[in-house]
Structure formats: structure tokens, C-alpha cells
Amino acid sequence: MFGLYVNDIFKITGRGYVLTGTVQDPKGIIKIGDYLKALNNEVLVKVKGVEMLNYGSKYKERINESIGLLVDITEDEAKELIGKTLYKYDN
């Protein structure tokens, strides 16, 4: 299951917030349109974009990769997610 530990956030004006963090399971899959949710948090976060540093063919052999997820949430909602792990939400 995809999990992202949120280390930091930043805003891209006119696009939304980027949640930066560490992937918990290198075999987890996340894509645009997926939803994420933290445990004990009512906010569903829709993924608008995915940015990965050093992406390459050996991705599955690496763990704890840092990525950024572009999302459309408020500043307060974004700040509340720092230090939490978001998991892929399946209806």
C-alpha cells in the first residue's frame, strides 16, 4: 500500500500545495487522480501531480525515496499534514 510521510509543504502560486515526503513502500503506486488520507483525519487529498527526484529504471530497488505530490488543499490543511503519514484511500 502506498504511504507518504509528509516532511514539508510549499505552495506553487496558482496550482496548489506540494506535500514533500518519504515513500514508505517502494512498491506502492500513486497516480494523478488518486486520493490520500491520514489516519484519524477527515480530509481527503486528491493528487493533482507527482514529482520524483532521481527517477529511473531501478526505482523499485530503492526505498525511502523523496517525492512531491501536488494537491489542492488549504494552507491550514497542508500544515496539519506535516509529520503525518498519508495512505492511498480506496473507496
Domain carrying residue 40: 3-89
Q: Quick one: three-class SS letters along the chain?
A: CCEEEEEEEEEECCCEEEEEEEECCCCCCCCCCCEEEECCCCCCEEEEEEEECCCCCCHHHCCCCEEEEEECCCHHHHHHHCCCEEEEECC
How confident is the model at residue 40, as a pLDDT?
79
> Could you report the per-residue pLDDT of 15-65, keeping only the tens digit for each?
999 999 988 887 888 999 999 998 877 789 999 999 876 555 555 555 556
Can you give the pTM of this predicted structure? 0.83
Cα(22)–Cα(62) distance, rounded to whole angstroms?
12
Instruction: State how many domains the chain has.
Output: 1
How confident is the model at residue 62, as a pLDDT?
56
How confident is the model at residue 90, as a pLDDT?
83
Residue showing cell 488518486: 34
